[in-house]
Structure 1
């Protein structure tokens, strides 16, 4: 799952040669990435993307590009556009390149090289439970523990006895 926002924009350059960049925050595969993109880069991205998928509505270009209200509307439009793009089940390489991310399902993740050493990736447990955690009745309350009761029924086909 990818979460993308466009929280801000800023003016870059001097008065004669200035332009606006939009800060794009991307959270993908547990990593937070920030990239800055110009509106023209968004336009090029949209042109490439609409050749391969049905894209959300792209925010139009406005004549008064330095007006803060116009820039804020554009920021919101670009954010909605990107959020619509990343809702697809398949995230194309075009999207990954634009957002400067790499997803595990599109790269060969069986082995990576780091400092000329091969590193094998493996699944590691993120959370663990004691083997008998749900077999012990630690409920000292007069109320039923519906979570534990559901686990007992689902995993062990056991019905908890009513507290006295």
Structure 2
């Protein structure tokens, strides 16, 4: 499964009495794109889980000035770099796939039964494969490749190719 992740942006979210920053994460799984939004605390929980089971890259630290746009941009860049480091690993932890909503259970494509499948295109070229099994003896020109191989392999004398 090919996965690409990009932490593309952030936005301030006001939910009742609470205000927080949500980071937008673009996820491509085998060419299929979806977008998720996560809070920094969710990234932090993921990091705590992953560092127990795998080697993790450096996680961007929490800073006091969390509403400063410059700090938020640095955090976004840090989170993006964190994911690139995670995706460089040979095997991806299941917790990461769940976090990205990219686990194989949710992205399984159900194929039709072979009997139900029908060809949706018309053949363009039809080749008669039996022509390759027939010997053509009516050629007026000698088969120089076959003769050259036979002479090269079975000739008792050396052949001078410079003539």
Normalising by structure 2, we get a TM-score of: 0.63
What's the counterpart of residue 8 of structure 2?
Answer: 7
- How much has 1:92 moved relative to structure 2? 1.7
CA distance in 1, matches of 2:126, 2:65: 65
Residue 46 of structure 2: aligned partner = 45
Unmatched runs of 5 consecutive residues or more in structure 1: 113-117, 123-129, 133-164
Shift in Å, 1:80: 0.3
Q: After superposition, where does 1:1-164 map in structure 2 within 5 Å?
A: 1-13=2-14, 16-103=17-104, 112=110, 119-120=112-113
Work out the number of aligned pairs and report it. 119
Larger Rg: 2
Cα offset for 1:28? 1.4
- Could you list the structure 1 runs, at least 4 aligned residues long, displaced by more than 6 angstroms after superposition: none
Query: 1 or 2, which has the higher helix percentage?
Result: 2
What's the Cα RMSD here? Answer: 3.1
Output the CA distance in 1 between the equivalents of 2:15 and 2:39. 16
User: CA separation in 1, counterparts of 2:70 and 2:64?
Assistant: 12
| Unaligned 5+ runs, structure 2 | 118-124, 128-163
TM-score w.r.t. the length of structure 1 is 0.63
Q: Is the 2:54–2:93 Cα contact (8 Å) retained in structure 1?
A: no
